[in-house]
Structure 1
Amino acid sequence: MKKNLMLLLSSLAAVLLALECGWRSYYFAKNHFHGGKAAFELYAVGESTVRGFGDISFADAVAETFKNSFGPGGLSYRNMGRTGYTSYPHWMSLRAEMAFRRRGTPGALILYTGHNEAIDRELPGKFRSFWLRHCERLLDHSYFLSDMLYRLRRKGLLRVDGSYLWYELNLRRIIETARDSGLTPILSTLAVNYSGVEPSFDMRDESSLNEHLRRGLELEARSFSSAARYYLELSGEDKDTKALWFFCAARCYERSGDYAAARENYREAVNWDKRVTYRRANCLQNDL
């Protein structure tokens, strides 16, 4: 029995090793003998902001500005932006592009991603934390296993994590992949409109919500400070509508001239935003 088990495990290991060798050979043939003619290589990875709206994006503008700054060979530029995608597919695309890249050509990577993440504010449990911190990083060493895991997740057969640890992990993956490939990563802070966009939320009791809003407007007509305190009291009652009440309180503080309190509550509104109708990164992501 023990001998058969050892034989089975050895056979499985041999198959995985053969697949890994084949996978690496494919990436080596695909990337190692291509490129290298430019004096400098610039890559851009991220979501729709990177991909651009219409004819140009900010990454395209950077490439256009510096295209004649590198002498013979010039600048090679590739925009790898993908509209609506999260950081995990961005990392997989970059990894496939950078695998076995020749490091002789200097280059840089522009990274801007985070608005499309469906982040759960709850901290992951012990098992999920252990998996993200250790098992995922272990699988990163295998091109075959990490590619298969990605395909299973794309087909919905495996759940994609939604915690801050997952977002942070993929940011680290992108940055480390760039550095390991000889690129200088340029990580951009995510621009967020705090005060100009009302947050989205889950509305389960419309009549109760309307009553709270009516009462709040009555208080605003008399005193913005009183209305702000009322909205903050409501923010502690239901986490599904927290973002709305923080936003209303921030608006009252702004109108009363208390800009420090307004800024704090606008930040909370963004942090609790359900991202149902308008996707935007929150302050906790930028704090990473």
Structure 2
Amino acid sequence: MRTDGATLFGAGLLGLLALAALAGPAVTPDPELMDLAAIHAGPGPGHPLGTDELGRDTLSRLLAGGRVSLAVAAATAVLAALIGTAIGLLAGYHGGRPDAVLMRLTDGVMALPLLPLLIVLAAIDPAKLGLSPEATGSEAFAVLRIVVIIALVGWTTVARLVRAQALSLKARDHVRAAVALGAGPGRIMIRHILPNLASPVVVATTLSVGNIILIESALSFLGLGVRPPLASWGNMLTGAMNAVWSAPDQALWPGLAIFLTVLAFNLVGDGLQRAIDPKS
């Protein structure tokens, strides 16, 4: 696999961001600790990036938000890739009516306006679905909820990619030989086709992470994603919105973190695509 400077820079930047987010609890104070006497305080010895609208340490919130945003993005990308791979593999291998039905479903999801659809899904009250208030009030449920919502509409690109690859792979000699030997469809898809789909699926998943971070940040900014007191870069921007003129740095730091993370993932994804593509 060939690498280049842009890919190495993206991987290094991503590693630094992940390491900083993971090391946050050990080197910074509690991100939910409030000091109402130090609201919007400037950078200082106790607060390297200042404090927010409730006197909480901005650096602690930034690193805590990084853990949440990166976890949501990674989990969503993996879940969307699993859904898309399953649908694309079934459609590409079986063809005919299953292919037509599954691809029309994919086209229908792709045709829907993304952000309004996500807003509608995120605005659904979990209590009306029969879930208990104790379960829906936990931080884990809040993160899982946003992961499922974004994954439900984010699988279409992987599905179309996998379908196209499966159509090509099922005509290969080793797959035709397996059919001639009496292997069933499930065994052929799992043992002979799926392993050859790993490279394009990994590339597509990596490239989707940056977009997922932007979507999660937009939903959290609108108050429909990760909600306080749990920090994410999106709801940090929401908190900074009312003080954007008096304390612009409160919007600068989460915005810069989002920009750098999306840039890093896109550089890594582009590098993987160039390295795996046989035409490069």
Q: TM-score range by the shorter chain?
A: under 0.3
Q: Name the structure with the higher helix share.
A: 2
Q: RCO (CA 8 Å, sep 6+): is it higher in 1 or 2?
A: 2
Q: Relative to total residues, which structure has the larger strand share, 1 or 2?
A: 1
Question: Which structure has the bigger radius of gyration?
Answer: 1
TM-score normalized with structure 2 length = 0.27
TM-score of the pair, normalised by structure 1: 0.27
